[in-house]
Structure 1
Amino acid sequence: MDRFLAISPKSQMWLFHFALALNILGMVLTDMWVPMVVGAIVTTYLSIDAMVRVRYVLPIKKAMRELEHENATLRRKVNDIEQASDY
């Protein structure tokens, strides 16, 4: 999911939504239907992918990172207690 690293995921989402709106506007205003339909399909996919990434994937990754950190902290505490009880 780390395909576009030059701009933030939220900016990507807005960029792809804007591109989709321009594609739809182009379909309404011009007679170039085939390229516009293909462009609309591609930008729809990119818009949905970016929105899913911003709303679901990134918060889950953040939560997983926090849980892994908490798990490591608890493991260290358990190891310290086990070492103290061995003496």
Structure 2
Amino acid sequence: MDRFLAISPKSQWWLFHTALALNVLGMLLTDMWLPMVVGAIVTTYLSVDSTVRIRYILPMKKSVQELERENASLRRRLNEIEQVSSY
């Protein structure tokens, strides 16, 4: 997931989808089928990967971080209650 840290996930999405469109256009306009098919397969994988990352993984990471923060605050409150009740 952390392969391309130089650009944002949304910029990666645009880059990979543009590359896929250019590959398909190159397949239509040239006779270089084998390199274009390989390029189209690679850019299709990258496009799908970036779409999954933007739509599912990044929101899931945010919700997991929120749950971890909530869990930590609840544990602190529980420890405070235990300390008060032990007196």
Q: Which residue of 1 aligns with 2:41?
A: 41
Which stretches of structure 1, 4 residues or longer, exceed 2 Å deviation after superposition?
none
Q: Which residue of 2 aligns with 1:53?
A: 53
Q: TM-score, normalised by structure 2?
A: 0.99
Q: TM-score, normalised by structure 1?
A: 0.99
Q: Which residue of 1 aligns with 2:79?
A: 79
Q: Which residue of 2 aligns with 1:15?
A: 15
State the 1:25 CA deviation: 0.2
In structure 1, distance between residues paired with 2:6 and 2:62: 20
Equivalenced residues, count: 87
For structure 1, the residue ranges without an aligned partner over 5 or more in a row are none
State the 1:8 CA deviation: 0.3
For structure 2, the residue ranges without an aligned partner over 5 or more in a row are none
In structure 1, distance between residues paired with 2:14 and 2:53: 12
In structure 2, distance between residues paired with 1:62 and 1:13: 19
Letter in 2 for 1:61: K
Q: Percent of aligned positions with the same letter in both sequences?
A: 76
State the 1:60 CA deviation: 0.3
Letter in 1 for 2:40: A
Secondary structure of the equivalent of 2:66?
helix
